[in-house]
Chains A and B, each alone.
Chain A
Amino acid sequence: MVRKGPFYWVSISCGIMVLVFILLPLVELLTAPSGAMLKETLKDRNVIRSIWLSIYTAMSAAGISFIVGTPLAYVLARSQFRGKHFIESIIDLPIVIPHPVVGIAILSVAGKNHWLGHFMQEIGIRIMGSTTGIITVLTFVGMPFYINALKSGFESISPRLENVSRSLGASMWSTFIRITFPLAWRSVLVGLIMCCARSISEFGAVVVVAYHPMIAPVLIYERYEGYGLQYSQPVAVWLVLVCLSLFLALRVLALPQKKAT
């Protein structure tokens, strides 16, 4: 057997360090609250309501991203035009902007002093302190993840498949529905999960726009501030468990089984 050099051992030890760094706090968190406490927490209607709101708003954000982001991702993947990089940078902006700034930015458009905010108030849409506001913020921060994942998915599909489809008589719509979308399905799903995951974890931007109704991260923070670590842990555990099982279920349900050959 070949003797492993120092490079090998440095790589291995760094790898172990990274894994411990990620897993240790999570395992600690999950094992800290007792079973009784977890049960007790589940009876708290505020907890249930906040976790449900978190999931519901994050999924709405993913849904909105799916509807408006899919065509954009396709255009970005397929066409070359001047200013494409510029548009891609704009789409990436929400990823790099500090979260509270996102909240403040959205409020400055939704406020009474802005014509758009004024207009929305006229027709009865409220952003500040509302579910609508939370969904708006989550879509803002989550959409880039969906678009980027799907864009690379579309890029990996040969345009020749679409060309052949059209030469066989299919219109662009037909081709997209029968060829492109089914082949990109995996990327769509990955994008949705990324978008959801990013949305559920948002705290900074949401707390600026809507402290109430309370999403789970805000509730966890409130419990921590008001009652201490012990009282925030069970809520956190439930949020993590619910999210993990949801994502797992989504993957299992939506990804087709490997085709029999």
Chain B
Amino acid sequence: MIDIKGLKVHLGEFRLKDIDLSIDEGEFFVLMGPTGAGKTVLLEAIAGLVPILGGTISISGRDATRLAPEQRGVGIMYQDYALFPHLTVTRNITYGLRYQKRKGTSEKLFRQLVDDLGIGHLLHRYPETLSGGELQRVALARALMVEPRVILLDEPLSALDQNFREEIRLLLKQIHRGSRITFFMVTHDFSEALTLATKAAIMNSGAIVQTGTIRDIFQKPSSSFVANFVGMKNVFPTEFNGSTAVVDTLAIEVSPPHANSTGHIAIRPEDIVISLKPLESSMRNSFSGTVSSIIDLGFLYEVHVHVQSVLFKSLVTKGSAIDLGLDIGMDVQISFKSSAVHIF
């Protein structure tokens, strides 16, 4: 569907270098990365809105590298919605219609989009009078109205408050399911990616650092950057010795054994279990340490446990924290399976 090969872009302070990406038809693809990684620039490059220094982009098997934006069939939706302020909601949504070849079905599609997105009562208003969630829906309707093959979403949820965010997220998922449009969404929020995406890529300082299914990225990060980014809070440089990883002075069991002699290991904080006494279980790794801090995350506590000089971060529900009577300075036991240790 979208094939990007060796893409190179210089735009102001942004440098995209040798971007290779391949996105299948109908996929919900998520591009993640910290602020300033160049995600929006990549998005605009796919839409044909920034000059390209090298490489190729093909869309639906057609070379689109030098194609004008209006000839690509690629819709774009920005974080700030970019609704046309001098046009009513209706005229915003129908803006692109006159450039479409297929006619006739537009009235039906318009009705359907307006119904699906619940914006029937807004049609005669101007964008400046709408709330964030409403702007979002109108922008989405405008982009879908021209029936693009690809829709590019630039952090569509980040400007919304929490309530709307959930709603729009569900909406995006529904629209994606009910259409054959390929979605390409940029976000810096990993949890958005988890709920929406089928495949994803992680970007850092202008380069793609990992791409694959969302599950793979989540469970098998290929570098400490990705591990940190996807919420693997425990990332340690390691020396390997067969099936043992040595972190500082701790010997951690891993499986399967690792071939290289040095590398990193990563453990998700929710995979580390805290108990008062050593557990009778199949968990191969068990260490005793001291609670050094407890951070309130709402429903969960992030508990920091020092085992000798190594700091482990674990997530504990509030209920079990109270049951255990966790407090700073307390001696506890941490345990995790050898299969919970990710090696890269």
State the A residues within 8 Å of B (CB).
158, 160-161, 163-171, 174, 178-179, 182-183, 259, 261
Where chain B touches its partner, the secondary structure class is loop
Contacts of A167 in B (CB 8 A): 47, 49, 69-70, 72, 74-76, 143, 148
Using Cβ atoms and an 8 Å threshold, which residues of chain B touch A158? 80, 82
Closest chain B CB from A161 CB (angstroms): 5
20 contacts between A and B (CB under 8 A): A158-B82, A161-B84, A163-B44, A163-B76, A163-B78, A163-B82, A164-B84, A165-B84, A166-B48, A166-B69, A167-B49, A167-B70, A167-B74, A167-B143, A167-B148, A168-B75, A168-B146, A171-B70, A178-B95, A261-B126
Least CB distance, A236 to chain B, in whole angstroms: 41
Partner of A169, one of B49, B100, B129: B100
Contact: A171 with B96, CB < 8 Å? no
Residue pair B68, A182 in contact (C-beta under 8 Å): no
A143 nearest CB across to chain B (Å): 27
A-B CB pair tally, cutoff 8 Å: 67
Q: Find out whether the CB atom of A171 lies under 8 angstroms from the CB atom of B47.
A: no
Closest B residue to A182 by beta carbon equals B86
- Interface extent on B, as a size class? 20 to 34
Give Cα distance in the complex from A166 to B82, angstroms: 12
A160 with B99: CB separation less than 8 A: no
Q: Is the beta-carbon distance between A163 and B126 smaller than 8 angstroms?
A: no
Q: Is A169 touching B84 in the complex (CB atoms < 8 A)?
A: no
Q: Which single residue of chain B is at the shortest CB-CB distance from A171?
A: B70
Q: Are A164 and B99 CB-contacts (below 8 A) given A170-B70, A171-B70, A259-B126?
A: no
Query: Which residue of chain B lies nearest to A168 when distances are taken between CB atoms in the complex?
Result: B96
B342 at the interface (CB under 8 A from A): no
B76: chain A residues at CB < 8 Å are: 163-164, 167
Complex: A164 Cα to B153 Cα, angstroms: 12
Given contact pairs A165-B95, A167-B75, A160 touches B125 in the complex (Cβ within 8 A): no
Q: How far is the CB of A255 from chain B (nearest CB, A)?
A: 13
User: Nearest chain A CB to B180's CB is how many angstroms away?
Assistant: 18
Shortest beta-carbon distance from B246 to chain A in Å? 51
Per the bound structure, the CA–CA distance linking A179 and B142 in Å amounts to 15
Q: What separation, in Å, do the CA atoms of A70 and B139 have in the docked complex?
A: 30
Considering the chains assembled together, what is the distance between the CA atoms of A166 and B95 in angstroms?
11
List chain B residues, Cβ under 8 A from A259.
126
* Listed residue (A167, A170, A183) with the most chain B CB atoms within 10 angstroms of its CB: A167
Q: Which residue of chain B is the closest to A161 with respect to CB atoms?
A: B82
Q: A166-B68, A167-B69, A171-B70 are in contact. Are A261 and B96 (CB under 8 A)?
A: no
Give which listed residue, A169, A183, A261, contacts B85 with CB less than 8 A.
A183
Inside 8 A of A182's CB, which chain B residues have their CB?
86
A160 and B85 contacting across the interface, CB-CB below 8 Å = no
Q: Does B167 contact A (CB under 8 A)?
A: no
Say whether, besides A163-B49, A165-B95, A166-B49, A171 and B68 are in contact (CB < 8 Å). yes
Nearest chain A CB to B41 CB, angstrom units: 12
Interface 1/0 per residue, B83-96 and A, CB below 8 Å: 01110000000011
- Is there a chain A Cβ closer than 8 Å to B128's Cβ? yes
- The residue on B at minimum CB distance from A164 is B82
- Closest Cβ–Cβ distance, residue A57 to chain B (whole Å): 33
Task: Return the CB mask of B112-134 against A: 1 if under 8 Å, else 0.
Answer: 00000000000001101100000
Q: Which residue of A lies closest to B100 (CB)?
A: A169
**Pair A168/B126 contact, Cβ less than 8 Å:** no
Query: Closest residue to B44 on the A side, CB-wise?
Result: A163
**Chain B residues whose C-beta falls within 8 Å of the C-beta of A163 in the assembled complex:** 44, 47, 49, 69, 76, 78, 82
Beyond A163-B47, A167-B143, A178-B95, 5 additional contacts (C-beta under 8 Å) are: A166-B68, A167-B72, A167-B76, A169-B99, A171-B70
Cα distance A168–B94 when bound, in Å?
10
9 A-B pairs with the lowest CB-CB distances in the bound complex, closest first: A168-B96, A169-B99, A166-B69, A160-B82, A167-B76, A164-B82, A169-B96, A169-B70, A163-B49
- Taking a contact as CB atoms under 8 Å apart, the answer to whether B78 and A160 are in contact is yes
Contacts of A161 in B (CB 8 A): 82, 84
When distances are taken between beta carbons in the complex, the residues of chain B under 8 Å from A160 are 78, 80, 82
B44:A170 contact, CB within 8 angstroms: no
Cα distance, A164 to B148, chains bound together (Å): 13
Question: Taking CB as reference atom, which chain B residue is nearest A166?
Answer: B69
Instruction: Identify B86's interface contact among A165, A174, A183, CB under 8 A.
Output: A183
Q: Which residue of B lies closest to A178 (CB)?
A: B95
Cβ contacts B31-69/A at 8 Å (1 or 0 each): 000000000000010011100000000000000000011
Question: How long is the Cα–Cα vector from A178 to B95 in the complex, in angstroms?
Answer: 9
Which chain A positions have C-beta within 8 A of B82?
158, 160-161, 163-164
